[in-house]
Amino acid sequence: MTNSIISWESLHKEAQRVMKLSYSPYSKFPVGVAGYTTDGRLVSGCNVENASYGLTLCAECSMISQLIMTGGGRLTAVVCVDGNGNYLSPCGRCRQLLFEHGGPTMQLMTPDGPQPMSTMLPWGFGPEDLT
């Protein structure tokens, strides 16, 4: 899926929809994320907190789990939102997850427009670095 045919509005709506499913009783900071795969599938996720804070799952973790469970592949475009539906920049850990499953050319929507992961995570570490 190329950037010119990405339905950013559809991704934004899906991210907002799943954000409302967030389990965030401790932080009160719901997050939703949605992405397209190279074969056109839509995958999404929300954050799931835990009383043992270190066990909390970010929305991106949830989305990557769905990506793998529905056939794998690569992400091409992702939108992440906060509880108000505003674009949200993923944390460093989640940028690494997105880089792993989308690579340097995957597009992430920001308030300034779509940005490639190579901009969002300069010098990203990927599987090719392990060889």
**Residue tagged active-site, from 14, 60, 100, 128:** 60
Instruction: Identify whether 100 is a catalytic site residue.
Output: no
- Alpha carbons within 13 A on the beta-carbon side of 49: 14
For residue 113, give both structure tokens.
């427009």
- Alpha carbons within 13 A on the beta-carbon side of 73: 19
Kindly list the catalytic residues: 60
